[in-house]
């Protein structure tokens, strides 16, 4: 794209200020900015006043609970191990987020939660996956999604740590797509004189970003039928858990979702359910009193299982989940920018909007879902904050309870 074309595109979106410092840039910076203007999809800016589409009619979705899992343990385990050994299962680590709440400028997975020795978040996750590699005798294909902001640092860290013992040729990194950031009136922020502010486009960006990176070929060549997608910040989770894989495969559903029993009816977690008859997640603030009081056949709360961002997707169904079918969610965030004098500003309060696609919208496109119960104290130690709830502190405590030396 040349200057005139960029100028025209920006004018159409009322964003001409993006070229304000063009003359001060080096030739390479000018070329980068023109390329960014060409690549960026500004249509997200149309959504700034959207409050989300109305939700449908919710109904409960039964989970496979612990007692059933225990009774069928051998059957589920054998089915899962077989699926892994046939090379049909891959793992996909979502590590494109900014981890802003942790207050570190490095990728979240590089955070060291060790006490007496280094114990990085990435290391905990790889360690968990290596247990399954050992049990199955199979090097599971591992995809790691990064973003433009943390890609180089993440790859360099894995190299430096020798992939924490994982087989390097079984790991593929790819970058997720970015979305532009703007102020509350829709004016794009600039993070540098030659760069529009952008942020990763949300945790549902993984499938389309993976295809854009050309990785559909690996799925096909290796005959991968299931992808276990998991978040970077849950250091206790089991990845490619054979019983979970076996249960999902045998249930013949579009997606399996690991869930934990809620601690209280009003706990702040998204709950697996049906919406207009299709799998969905109802947010805690959308639960009516009537839904909180509803009971299942056993007399237990009917909306009782919260999601922990650990899903097993059937690849054959993923074509239903391309970018254009997923809603954009508008999120208020603190966005660093340069002001009209070209000075960098790090806001202390949210000063603008970013746009994200969320995995819950992905789930809703799929035909069917099996919620699969896991024990919270054994599999759920998310690290969102430095202290307090879902923090480095609480995760350390849970790791210790589970016999992990820190
Ligand atoms: P969160 O939604 O908690 O976001 O991520 P975050 O970026 O880690 O943290 P905050 O809110 O900025 O503090 C849930 C999971 O989804 C991934 C994250 O890396 C984490 O594993 N994620 C999130 C992405 O991969 N890309 C995104 O655009 C957003």
| CATH number for position 254 | 3.90.550.10
Which domain covers residue 131, as residue numbers? 40-401
**Lowest mean pLDDT, pick from 5-14, 158-167, 200-209:** 200-209
Residue 246 maps to a domain: yes
Q: Is 382 in the pocket of ligand 1 (CB under 6 A)?
A: no
Q: Is 231 in the pocket of ligand 1 (CB under 6 A)?
A: yes
Q: Is 95 in the pocket of ligand 1 (CB under 6 A)?
A: yes
Instruction: Say whether both 15 and 123 belong to one domain.
Output: no
**What pLDDT, on the 0 to 100 scale, is given for residue 270?**
92
Q: Is 301 in the pocket of ligand 1 (CB under 6 A)?
A: no
For the record, the structure tokens of 4 come out as 């005139």
Residue 333 Cα: closest atom of ligand 1: 12
Q: Is 101 in the pocket of ligand 1 (CB under 6 A)?
A: yes
Mean pLDDT of 155-184: 97
Cα 262 from chain centroid (whole Å): 21
Instruction: Say whether both 17 and 49 belong to one domain.
Output: no
Tokens 């049909």 — which residue? 88
Return the bridge partners of 344, or none. 338
Instruction: Say whether both 28 and 61 belong to one domain.
Output: no
Query: What is the band of 118 on the pLDDT scale with cuts at 50, 70, 90?
Result: very high
Least Cα distance to 3 among 15, 19, 14 occurs for: 19
Instruction: Say whether both 45 and 35 belong to one domain.
Output: no
Instruction: Say whether both 16 and 120 belong to one domain.
Output: no
Spatial distance between the Cα atoms of 389 and 27, rounded to a whole number of angstroms: 48
Query: What is the band of 280 on the pLDDT scale with cuts at 50, 70, 90?
Result: very high
**What pLDDT, on the 0 to 100 scale, is given for residue 41?**
87
Q: How many domains does the chain contain in total?
A: 2
Q: Which residue has the higher pLDDT, 98 or 6?
A: 6
Give me ligand 1 centre to Cα 100, in Å: 9
Q: 226-247 pLDDT, tens per residue?
A: 999 999 999 999 999 999 999 9
Query: What is the band of 323 on the pLDDT scale with cuts at 50, 70, 90?
Result: low
**What pLDDT, on the 0 to 100 scale, is given for residue 332?**
92
**Helix, strand, coil proportions of the chain in percent (round to 5)?**
40, 25, 40
pLDDT at 322 over 90: no
Mean pLDDT of 207-235: 95
Answer whether 306's CB lies under 8 Å from 267's CB. Answer: yes
**What pLDDT, on the 0 to 100 scale, is given for residue 103?**
78
Taking CA atoms, 89 is separated from 3, 123, 207, 314, in Å, by 47, 21, 15, 9
Nearest protein Cα to ligand 1, atom 5: 97
**Mean pLDDT score across all residues of the chain:** 93
Answer whether 241's CB lies under 8 Å from 380's CB. Answer: no
**What pLDDT, on the 0 to 100 scale, is given for residue 11?**
96
Return the bridge partners of 144, or none. 93, 173
Nearest protein Cα to ligand 1, atom 23: 97
Coil vs helix vs strand at 368: coil
Residue 206 Cα: closest atom of ligand 1: 25
Mean pLDDT of 3-13: 96
pLDDT at 389 over 80: yes
Q: 120-140 pLDDT, tens per residue?
A: 999 999 999 999 999 999 999
Residue 288 maps to a domain: yes
Residue 305 maps to a domain: yes
């Amino acid at each position: 794209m040349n200057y005139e074309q960029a100028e025209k595109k920006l004018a159409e979106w009322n964003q001409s200020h993006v070229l304000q410092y063009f003359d001060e840039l080096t030739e390479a910076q000018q070329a980068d900015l023109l390329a960014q203007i060409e690549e960026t999809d500004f249509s997200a800016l149309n959504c700034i006043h959207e409050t989300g589409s109305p939700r449908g009619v919710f109904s409960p979705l039964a989970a496979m609970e612990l007692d059933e899992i225990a009774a069928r343990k051998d059957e589920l385990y054998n089915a899962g191990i077989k699926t892994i050994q046939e090379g049909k299962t891959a793992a996909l680590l979502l590590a494109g987020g900014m981890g802003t709440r942790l207050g570190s400028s490095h990728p979240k997975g590089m955070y060291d939660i060790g006490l007496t020795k280094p114990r990085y978040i990435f290391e905990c996750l790889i360690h968990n996956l290596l247990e399954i590699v050992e049990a199955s005798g199979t090097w599971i294909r591992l995809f790691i999604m990064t973003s433009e902001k943390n890609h180089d640092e993440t790859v360099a860290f894995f190299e430096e740590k020798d992939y924490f013992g994982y087989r390097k040729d079984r790991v593929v990194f790819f970058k997720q797509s970015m979305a532009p950031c703007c102020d509350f009136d829709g004016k794009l922020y600039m993070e540098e004189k030659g760069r529009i502010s952008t942020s990763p486009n949300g945790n549902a960006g993984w499938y389309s970003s993976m295809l854009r990176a050309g990785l559909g070929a690996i799925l096909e060549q290796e005959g991968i039928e299931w992808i276990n997608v998991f978040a970077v910040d849950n250091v206790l989770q089991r990845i490619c858990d054979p019983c979970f894989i076996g249960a999902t495969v045998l249930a013949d559903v579009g997606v399996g979702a690991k869930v934990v029993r809620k601690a209280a009816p009003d706990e702040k977690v998204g709950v697996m359910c049906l919406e207009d008859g299709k799998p969905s997640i109802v947010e805690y603030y959308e639960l009516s009193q009537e839904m909180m009081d509803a009971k299942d056949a056993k007399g237990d709360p009917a909306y009782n299982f919260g999601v922990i961002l650990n899903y097993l997707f059937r690849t054959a169904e993923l074509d239903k989940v391309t970018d254009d079918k997923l809603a954009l969610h508008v999120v208020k965030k603190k966005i660093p920018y340069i002001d009209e004098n070209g000075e960098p500003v790090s806001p202390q309060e949210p000063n603008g909007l970013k746009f994200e696609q969320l995995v819950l919208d992905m789930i809703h496109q799929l035909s069917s879902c099996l919620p699969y119960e896991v024990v919270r104290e054994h599999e759920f130690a998310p690290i969102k904050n430095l202290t307090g709830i879902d923090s480095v502190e609480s995760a350390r405590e849970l790791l210790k309870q589970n016999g992990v030396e820190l």
